[in-house]
């Protein structure tokens, strides 16, 4: 029993260290639902992250955002009625320099439902997620964990879903630069991502004023 407990503690410490390397844990550390505005060439999307159920994943994402690594990157995969994926390539088709892979939090109770944001990973490597993410355009329960690890959801779109719907309608095809078949023929880019200011609790303000 003691050996199992020590092993569990060791694993948790390892995962914590992986998360700590992202620096995202220092961004609004007391805010369990930080918001990020994704500014694209087709309009803005605002997502709300869920640190309560996906802290490692949310902090990992915030780390990339705060370092500006998602700025001037491609939306490189669009599948209508399925998902929109980004976070892997610059506009010159070079890859983003990734951090170390993170622990897969797909067992956190969040489902890949329409409008949620999740981490991409290698198909046969559960704990391989780094920078790439996708937004579900449908209730993609096939991406949830079952007999094997799923894809970790860590937030949802709260504004600008109509922008995603418009992106989903663009013409896609094969890209020789990326080797993928569902790349928008007209380049769609993420201009930048902005972490929004933490909202002030009005009740707290009133109590302080009194």
Question: Of 4-18, 137-151, 191-205, which range is least confident?
Answer: 4-18
Q: What is the mean pLDDT of residues 26-42?
A: 95
- Euclidean distance between CA atoms 20 and 59, whole angstroms: 8
For residue range 136-175, list pLDDT tens digits in order. Answer: 999 999 999 998 999 999 999 999 999 999 999 999 999 9
Residues in the chain: 210
Chain-centre distance for alpha carbon 151: 11
**Residue in the block written with tokens 């990973």:** 121
- Angle at CA of residue 104, ends 164 and 193, nearest 5°: 35
3-state SS class at 8: helix
For residue range 75-93, list pLDDT tens digits in order. Answer: 999 999 999 999 999 999 9
Confidence of residue 11 (pLDDT cuts 50, 70, 90): very low
Q: Which helix (H) or strand (E) holds 157?
A: strand 153-159
- Euclidean distance between CA atoms 195 and 168, whole angstroms: 25
Q: Which domains can be identified in the chain, with CATH numbers?
A: 18-195 (2.40.100.10)
114-140: buried (b, 16+ CB within 10 Å) or exposed (e) per residue? bbbbbbbbeeeebeebbbbbbbbbbeb
Contact 186/171 with Cβ under 8 angstroms? yes
Which residues are within 8 A (CB) of 10 and not within 5 positions of it... i.e. 6 or more apart?
Answer: none
Chain-centre distance for alpha carbon 180: 21
């Amino acid at each position: 029993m003691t050996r199992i407990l020590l092993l569990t503690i060791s694993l948790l410490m390892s995962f914590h260290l992986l998360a700590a390397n992202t620096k995202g844990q220092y961004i609004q550390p007391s805010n369990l639902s930080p918001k990020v505005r994704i500014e694209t060439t087709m309009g803005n999307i605002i997502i709300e992250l869920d640190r309560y159920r996906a802290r490692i994943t949310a902090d990992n994402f915030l780390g990339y955002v705060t370092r500006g690594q998602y700025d001037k990157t491609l939306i490189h995969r669009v599948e209508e009625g399925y998902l929109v994926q980004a976070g892997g390539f610059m506009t010159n088709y070079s890859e983003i320099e990734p951090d170390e892979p993170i622990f897969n939090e797909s067992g956190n109770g969040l489902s890949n439902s329409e409008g949620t944001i999740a981490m991409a990973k290698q198909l046969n490597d559960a704990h391989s997620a780094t920078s790439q993410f996708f937004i579900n355009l449908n209730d993609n329960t096939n991406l949830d964990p079952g007999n094997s690890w799923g894809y970790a959801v860590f937030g949802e779109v709260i504004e600008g879903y109509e922008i995603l719907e418009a992106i989903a309608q663009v013409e896609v095809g094969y890209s020789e630069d990326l080797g993928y078949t569902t790349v928008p023929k007209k380049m769609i880019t993420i201009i930048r991502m902005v972490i929004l200011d933490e909202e002030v609790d009005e009740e707290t303000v009133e109590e302080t004023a009194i």
